[in-house]
Amino acid sequence: MTRNSNPYILIVVVLGVLLCAGGCTDMGVSPPPSATVPDTTGGGGGVSFSKDVVPIFIRYGCYGCHGGTNGLVVGTVADLLKGGIHGPAIVPGKADSSLIMKKTSPTPPFGDRMPQGGPYCPDSVRAVIAAWINQGAKDN
């Protein structure tokens, strides 16, 4: 690794490769562990992308299935802001307008609910992502 490389990105890439190698065939077989909802009141610093949101993406298989599907990559905040063929996945400060929230809802505006084939994110997990977006979708 070079001096400027981020070991966290290497971990994410390895996990993504492992998930893709499995072909996402285990989606829906067993429910993932529930995520804990971090303090979103501002007292504890809010929701962190790296500590709170990325583990959700990993837990629900988003890295394996969204390594470029329809142009969407979910590895970084910049990737989510760039989005895919349907536009940006997130709109900082506006969870209700963010495509990622719409596509993980029980009634997505188009296509299948994500993660495709389940297990689907419970409301408590979606609340973490929404809180992060509403707090400005910081790259923290």
pLDDT in tens, 61-108: 886 566 666 788 888 999 999 999 999 999 999 999 999 999 999 999
User: Does the pLDDT value for residue 12 go beyond 80?
Assistant: no
The overall average pLDDT reported for the chain is 77
| In the chain, domain spans | 39-134
Q: For residues 131 and 95, what is the distance between their CA atoms, to the nearest angstrom?
A: 8
* pLDDT at residue 80, as a whole number: 95
Q: For residues 20 and 63, what is the distance between their CA atoms, to the nearest angstrom?
A: 8
pTM: 0.70
